[in-house]
Amino acid sequence: MASKQVILVTGGAGFIGSHVVRRLVNRYPNYEVVNLDVLTYAGNLENLKDLESAPNYRFVKGDITDEAFVNQLFAEEHFDGIIHLAAESHVDRSITTPLAFVQTNVMGTANLLNAARKQWEASFQGKLFYHVSTDEVYGSLGKEGLFTETTSYDPRSPYSASKASSDHLVRAYWHTYGLPIVISNCSNNYGPNQFPEKLIPLCINNIRKSLPLPIYGKGENVRDWLYVEDHATAIDLVYHQGKHGETYNIGGHNEWTNIDLVRQLCAIMDTKLGREAGTSAQLITFVKDRAGHDLRYAIDAAKIEQELGWTPSLQFEEGLTKTVDWYLANQTWLDNITSGDYQGYYEQQYHSR
């Protein structure tokens, strides 16, 4: 059994964070898992309802950008490790409100790094700051090639630039202070609990309501999709076995153009909803492209596969079907988060396209 430790997970009420928290709580009963989340529009405690009474789980509401709060939390608690996922995560929102991304992703990460350094400075032995990042820091690929851990950074949206800045800060704390760190850069995740501003849940929600499916540009952009639980498994492995100071790329070997992906989703939804084949695909609507839209992301995951023995467990069709099943079984979850603020966001984002 892994020895006792207290782990702080930031952003644990969000999409990926909730799967990471669940995995840690269920797999390591002698760990204390503390979930720190400020509960933005993307944070939802409903995602963790099943863990409410777990004895090794605690939720703390708080803001990683609040320096005094973060310092006090670190002074009161004795964290052995931090898995940092809290972030503003949606590229389209970063185009309309870039400063929020700088504030949370850059300043928030800097606050956590500083608090960890101060709290742990007597001895870094047994401590780890794990920063969860994105493949978008590497920029945009042409039709060929894959991102490796040594690909130069070339972020092109305010979101990816803010994540790249946070990665640089994390490495700076490793080189300058010797803070034990590890970073992973993952491709596009999909699965249960993803906020319906992102392509797959947005389309699932619109298909069930027979609303247009907005495809940016010609739908030719390519993303490499990974089922969220496979990402959580990789995070668990990197946290426990990753070499300190290193970066691990995580990806699905699963590249799809947006239009092909949405067509596949439409076919699955037609079957699930008992609609005639081809019905949902008629909702596909090409709209104005995203500003600075990266053409293609694709990950070379050889390092994590060879060094840590990780591979994705699900084929895409199976993962997409599980995802659709989850959203159809949790329509109240979807209805709750698409009421209120979401309507305003959706109008602003899509009405004029």
- Residues forming the site for ligand NAD (CB under 6 A): 10-11, 13-17, 37-40, 42-43, 63-65, 85-87, 89, 104, 108, 132, 134, 163, 186, 188-189, 195
When asked if residue 205 is in the footprint of ligand DAU (CB under 6 A), the reply is no
Please tell me which residue in 28, 57, 130, 159 is annotated as part of the active site. Answer: 159
Contact in structure between 34 and 6 (CB atoms under 8 Å):
yes
Give me the residue label for tokens 């929600």.
205
Q: Which of residues 82-101 bind ligand DAU (CB under 6 A)?
A: 89-91
- Within 13 A of 241's CA, how many CA atoms are on the CB side? 12
16 makes contact, choosing from ligand NAD, ligand DAU, none, with CB < 5 to 8 Å by partner type, with: ligand NAD
Give me the residue label for tokens 């409100």.
97
When asked if residue 114 is in the footprint of ligand DAU (CB under 6 A), the reply is no
Closer of 147 and 195 to ligand NAD (Cβ): 195
Contact in structure between 83 and 181 (CB atoms under 8 Å):
no
> In angstroms, what CA-CA distances link 275 with 81, 272, 279?
49, 8, 6
144 carries an active-site annotation: no
297 carries an active-site annotation: no
214 makes contact, choosing from ligand NAD, ligand DAU, none, with CB < 5 to 8 Å by partner type, with: ligand DAU
Interatomic CA distance for residues 95 and 107, integer angstroms: 18
Interatomic CA distance for residues 349 and 182, integer angstroms: 35
Closer of 170 and 179 to ligand NAD (Cβ): 170
Q: Which of residues 117-136 bind ligand DAU (CB under 6 A)?
A: 134-136
224 carries an active-site annotation: no
Closer of 56 and 349 to ligand DAU (Cβ): 349
Q: Which residue blocks in the chain are alpha helix, DSSP H? A: 15-27, 67-76, 91-96, 98-101, 109-120, 158-177, 199-208, 228-241, 258-273, 302-308, 316-329, 331-337, 341-350
Name the token pair of 31. 């760990």
Contacts of 330 (CB under 8 A, 6+ apart): 192
CB of 179 to ligand NAD, least distance (A): 19
Binding mask of the shown chain, residues 31 to 70, with x at each position contacting ligand DAU by CB under 6 A:
----------------------------------------
258 makes contact, choosing from ligand DAU, ligand NAD, none, with CB < 5 to 8 Å by partner type, with: ligand DAU
Among residues 61, 308, 292, 32, which one has the least CA distance to residue 158? Answer: 292
Binding site for ligand DAU (CB under 6 A): 89-91, 134-136, 187-188, 198-199, 202, 214-216, 221, 223, 258, 290, 297
Give the residue numbers annotated as catalytic, written as ranges. Answer: 135-136, 159
